Amino acid sequence: MKGLLKQIGWSLVTLWLVSLITFSLLFLVPLLRPSKPGLTPADIMAQTIAGAHTDPETIANIKRDRGLDRPLYVQYGMFVRDALTNNLKSYRNSDFVFSAIARRFGNTLILALTGLSLYLIFAIPIGLFTASRAGSAIDRFTLFACVIAFSIPTFWLARLLQYYLGYRWGAFHVGGSASLANLPLPALTLGVGGAAYYARLLHANLRGVLSQDYIRAARARGLGEKKVLWNHALKNALIPLVAILGMDFASLLSGLIFTEKIFAWPGIGSLAIDSVQNQDTPMILGTVMFSALMVVLANIAVDIAYRIIDPRVRLD
C-alpha cells in the first residue's frame, strides 16, 4: 500500500515533467525560427493562430486574449490552470481541449483494447505451439516469420489491409467512423505486429519456465504434456508479459496515431495528428498530456495486477 502511494506520487512528478517538456517544446522552439526583424515571439505565435497576413489590430487582440505577450512562466502557469479546470481552448475552433478528448476517448479505448486482446489471442497459441516444439524447423520458421511481422510499418500495413481485405475482396469495411463494422481492420493493423512481438517473448519465457524443476516434477508425476504446458508453464510465462504490456502502452498509442488517421477512426490519435498539422498548440499539449496520463495509469494498473498475480514480487 505504501509502495503504491509512493508510486502515485512519483507519477505526478512525471506528469509535471511531461507538461514542462511539451510546453517548452511548443513555446520555445518556434523562437529558434529565423523571423522577420521587428517581430516578437508573441507576434509569431499570434500569426500561427490567425495567419501571416493578419492586420496588426487583430494580432494585438489575439496577443491580449491569449496572454501571449506575458512572460513564459506566466503563460506556463496559465496553461496549467486552464488544463486543470478544462479552460484550455483550441486555436482552430471554439472547442475545449479536454472536452474534445473526452468525446473521442471511448473510441480510442475500444480500438486499443481490441488490439491488445488480439495480441494475446494470437500470441498465446503461437508461443505454446513453438515452445513445445523448440528447435524444430517449424518452430524456427514461425519465430522468423514473427520477426518479419513486427518489422512491418503500421501505416503501410493499414493501407494494404484496407486495399486488399477491404476494397478488393470486400471482406471488411474500410473505415470512416467509429462503428463495430469498421473495427476489424484497424484492430488487425494494431494486432499483427504486437502479436508477433509477444509471441516471441512468450516463447522465450516458456522455454525458461519449462526448464525449471517444478515442471520436471510435474512431468515426473506423470502429467500429460498438455496439462504441463497449459496449467503449469503458461501461467508463469505470462506474468513477465504483464509488466512489459505496461511499458509498451506508449508504443501502442504511437501505433494508434497512424491507424486512426488511415481508417478515419475518430479517436485521440487522429485528433493529435490533425492538431499537429493544424499547428493547434493547446490541442497538441492536451493530447500529449492525456496520452502521458494514460501511460502512467496503465503502469500503475500493471503494478497492482502484478502484486495480485505474483505475490513474490515486492516492487519498491
Interface residues toward other proteins, by CB under 8 A:
10, 13-15, 17-18, 21-22, 25-26, 29-30, 32-34, 140, 144, 147-148, 150-156, 159-160, 163, 167, 193-194, 197, 200-201, 204, 207-208, 211, 244, 247-248, 250-251, 253-255, 257-258, 272-273, 276-277, 279, 284, 287-288, 291-292, 295-296
Give φ, ψ of 162 to 5 degrees.
Answer: -60, -45
Cβ-based nearer residue to other proteins, 26 or 60: 26
Q: How many whole angstroms from its chain centre is CA 45?
A: 29
Residue 264 Cβ vs other proteins, minimum distance, rounded to whole Å: 14
Torsion of CA 234, 236, 238, 244, to 10 degrees: -160
Residue 57 Cβ vs other proteins, minimum distance, rounded to whole Å: 27
Which residues, listed in sequence order, are joined to residue 96 by a DSSP beta bridge? 89
Q: Identify which of 20, 24, 64 has the alpha carbon closest to the alpha carbon of residue 43.
A: 64
Residue 299 Cβ vs other proteins, minimum distance, rounded to whole Å: 8
Cβ-based nearer residue to other proteins, 17 or 179: 17
- Sign of the Cα torsion 178, 101, 197, 237 reads negative
Whole-number Å distance between alpha carbons of 15 and 288: 10
Cβ-based nearer residue to other proteins, 167 or 179: 167
Residue 225 Cβ vs other proteins, minimum distance, rounded to whole Å: 19
Cβ-based nearer residue to other proteins, 29 or 308: 29
CB 156 within 8 A of CB 175: no
Cβ-based nearer residue to other proteins, 60 or 297: 297
Residue 110 Cβ vs other proteins, minimum distance, rounded to whole Å: 18
Cβ-based nearer residue to other proteins, 18 or 78: 18
Residue 269 Cβ vs other proteins, minimum distance, rounded to whole Å: 8
CB 289 within 8 A of CB 18: yes
Q: Identify which of 279, 254, 281, 283 has the alpha carbon closest to the alpha carbon of residue 269.
A: 254
DSSP 182: G
